[in-house]
Each structure stands twice: as structure tokens, then as C-alpha cells.
Amino acid sequence: MLTGMQIAVIGGDARQLEIIRKLTELDAKISLIGFEQLDHAFTGAVKEKLEEVDFTNIDSIILPVTGANLEGQVETIFSNEKVILSEDILFKTPEHCIIYSGISNPYLNHIVKQSKRTLVQLFSRDDVAIYNSIPTVEGTIMMAIQHTDFTIHGSNITVLGLGRCGMSTARAFHALGAKVKVGARKSEHLARITEMGVTPFHLDDIEKAVAGTDILINTIPHLIVSAAVIAKLPSHTLIIDIASKPGGTDFRYAEKRGIKALLAPSLPGIVAPKTAGQILANVLSQLLQESYKNRKETEK
């Protein structure tokens, strides 16, 4: 339980609603900042403006998946107000205050370092990334269906990368009856791709390997689908790039060649915000309960 814990949830999209629901069930006291247009009310959660919150009592701050932008602005889907997370705010919090976010950036890293607080990036955890790959793959399948006039079954799919998303993507398209090839650079990844029953290729051979691809799915956050690679693709190929912005595709060259290339960020939040929120809520509630228990023990 989180009885007595004070948490500030700042901004975010529908995924945060699952987090708020779970934390109020665990009896935490919650300040909701950037939610004034939200119709729903949660027992134990109070909508407040940033300047109304007494941060000296806040044990944890929960930011959206995106954290904050490079100017400190936090994304607020349920508010028109500009919410800026500043270094001054973090300085006001107790020393034990932990900040949770999906990902980070130089701004967030800087203010956390200056204020000597702790930042937990949920998406750098393997468990979160693996669970999150499930709605990500469903979103990728949705895009493949929406943007082609042929079935996934029987088509040639090339997946780049065998990380958390690459593996789930390759498995799902294989299960749908596609002819799947996966490109990786580590020998253990090539071995795993073979074990999965799909066709491996080394990324050094990418230009040769992509010939005949109907749908190319990139999960590598590095410019890998270069002009030289795009030049080898059939003109009907659909590129779906799910890697974090700016993706790993030369979009300018794809457009020049007339190849449809889509950057597809935040798929879990689009296709399954409830599940994506529950994934975060489950991990967050565990982490918050552990940190609360540890703090109480050290205070004894």
C-alpha cells in the first residue's frame, strides 16, 4: 500500500489515467497537474495548478512517457496550460523525492543532476520494454494493413534489429504467415533469428537482403535505411519505421524515389492506451511501494 505517500502526476495522455487509478487504489494522495479538462474524478486525487502544489511534501513525481521537452515543457493532453518542470521545483522537493518518466533528454537529466534527485526511466527497463513491445507490434500490424493492398500472409517482410521490439515484430509477422527476414549485427542475434524459424542476414549485407521486400520494418534508432538501401527496394515497398525520433530512415530519399515511408511513434498510446497504461501502472506501483518501504525502514 502507499498510504501516506504524496505523489504529483504531471501531464500525460490516457496512459496516465491507468496509473492514477492504480495509485489511488493503493491509497496514495495524488496531485494532478495538467488535468483540468479531464471529466473523470478519482477519489484521493486532486486537480491542482503547478503553482498551487506544495512540493516540499511530494515524495514522487510522475511525468508522461515523453518526460519533458528540451525547454522543460511537459506534454498535457488534458490541459491547454503550459506546464514547465523547472530545476526550482525539484529543489523544493524532499531529498528522497524520485522522478519517474518513460524516457529522458538532456534537459531532464540536467535539472535532476543539479537538484541531486533521482530519475527513473521506465522504458530503459527490460520488463517495461518487452511488455510494451506487445501493443507496439499490434500498432505496426495495423499500419501494415492500413497502408497496403495485399495481405501480410505470404508477403516478404524485412525486420531490422533483434531488440525487444524487433523480436516481437518478427514473431508476430511470422505467425501471420509472412516470409520474414531479420537483419542484425551480433552473431548471437543471428543464431536466435535462425532458432525462431525466420531468415537471418547480417546488417553488412542489408543492401542485398532487402531486394524483394514488400514491407520493411525498422526498429534500429540509427540511420540504417539509407539512400543506398532504399535504392535496392522495389517501388511498392512500404517502410514502417518505429525507431525513436528521427527514426532510422532517409525519409527525404524515400520520398524522392516515391517509396512510402512512415515514421510511427507512440504506437502503444495510439492503439492500446489502456494496456500501455496498465503496463506502466503495474511496474510503477511496484517501484513506488519498494521505495516507500525502504524509506520507512531507514527512517526507523
- The reply on whether position 136 binds ligand NAP by CB under 6 A is yes
Pick the binder of ligand NAP from 34, 67, 102, 161 (CB under 6 A): 161
Q: Do the beta carbons of residue 294 and residue 6 sit within 8 Å?
A: no
Amino acid code (one letter) for 245? K
- The reply on whether position 264 binds ligand NAP by CB under 6 A is yes
Element at 106 (helix H, strand E):
helix 106-114
- Closest contact distance (angstroms) between CB of 271 and ligand NAP is 9
Piece of 32-40, 190-198, 209-217, 218-226 that binds ligand NAP (CB under 6 A): 218-226
Pick the binder of ligand NAP from 68, 243, 276, 281 (CB under 6 A): 243
- Closest contact distance (angstroms) between CB of 266 and ligand NAP is 5
Q: Is 259 left (phi over 0), alpha (psi -120 to 50) or beta?
A: beta
Q: How far apart are CA 114 and CA 33, in angstroms?
A: 23
- The reply on whether position 185 binds ligand NAP by CB under 6 A is yes
Q: Which residue lies nearest ligand NAP, judged by its C-beta? A: 163
Pick the binder of ligand NAP from 26, 77, 87, 163 (CB under 6 A): 163
- Closest contact distance (angstroms) between CB of 214 and ligand NAP is 20
Pick the binder of ligand NAP from 15, 22, 164, 174 (CB under 6 A): 164
- The reply on whether position 162 binds ligand NAP by CB under 6 A is yes
Farthest-apart Cα atoms in the chain, separation: 68
- The reply on whether position 166 binds ligand NAP by CB under 6 A is yes
Shortest CA distance to 89 belongs to which of 65, 64, 114?
114
- The reply on whether position 129 binds ligand NAP by CB under 6 A is yes
Pick the binder of ligand NAP from 24, 199, 244, 275 (CB under 6 A): 244
Q: Which residues contact 237 (CB under 8 A, 6 or more apart)?
A: 210, 213, 214, 215, 216, 259, 260
Q: Which residues contact 32 (CB under 8 A, 6 or more apart)?
A: 9, 20, 38, 42, 45, 46, 47, 48
Q: What count of Cα atoms within 13 Å lies in the side-chain half-sphere of residue 207?
A: 6
Binding stretches for ligand NAP (CB under 6 A): 129, 132, 136, 161-166, 184-186, 203, 219-222, 242-244, 264-268
